[in-house]
Amino acid sequence: MENKRRLFKQIFIAVIYLAIFSGIGTGIYFLIRPTPVPPAPPAPTIYPIEKIWAQSFLSGPGVYSVGAKIRNPNTGFGSSAFTYTFYLYDTSGNLLIAKVGQSFIWPGESKYLVEGGINSTKAPVKVELEIGEPVWHEVKDFRGIDLTVGNVSYGKGAPGSGKFYMVDAVATNGTSYDLNNIHISAVVFNGADLPIAVNLTVLENLKSKENRSFSIPWFSSFPGTPARVDLNISTNLWERPELLGQ
């Protein structure tokens, strides 16, 4: 009987020690165990820049321009830089010229790409636009900036001016910051609302709250009858990041 009591006592003591050491071990584990790393949030979906249309335009004898309308479907991301290439083809599908350029685009922005002064002995009849991989930046709660065009007038150039067609307007920088380069594109549409001519200009050093008159001329005739003109004004916001409010 005494042996049984001694055995039960030993077992009891062993269980107590096992519980104590197990508790200590568990406590040490929870104290020194590595902090679990939460899974990374899923990468945001960024859609490619959309190409609405692209075509060539006669600018003079053997001289052409190309233009395109594009749109950024991402309202939370803009691009500070992307390259693009216009490929111009003749009636046989032969590549005549590849014209390379670089631009930028705001979140949710629609804009025009315009390249002029393209010399070709053959008339391009087909244009393809290829856009390179943009440098994307997240922009939260972007509502645009106060950069506008107003007082727009257009029509035939004055006799003796050497200008076939003219667009006159006023660019207004309503922001609190001076802007280095303001890009303004003009697209002339006919009565069927099809583009028949394109041109562009760049205004430098547009001061804060400044209103500046500008003109965009066409010195050679272009086919079609103009019915309206659409102007797009833009600047690279990443050259003045204060405008992004980030």
66 DSSP assignment:
E
pLDDT for the residue numbered 238? 93
pLDDT score of 246:
47
> Bridge-partner residues for 130, per DSSP?
85
CB 68, CB 101: distance < 8 Å: no
pLDDT of residue 92: 92
Q: Is there a contact between 181 and 173 (Cβ–Cβ < 8 Å)?
A: no
Return per-residue pLDDT of the chain as tens, 246 residues: 555 556 555 565 655 655 565 656 555 555 566 667 777 778 789 999 999 999 999 998 999 999 999 999 999 999 999 999 999 999 999 999 999 999 999 999 999 999 999 999 999 999 999 999 999 999 988 888 999 999 999 999 888 888 999 999 999 999 999 999 999 999 999 999 999 999 999 999 999 999 999 999 999 999 999 999 999 999 999 998 888 764
Domains of the chain: 48-143 (2.60.40.3230), 145-237 (2.60.40.3230)
Residue 32: per-residue pLDDT: 62
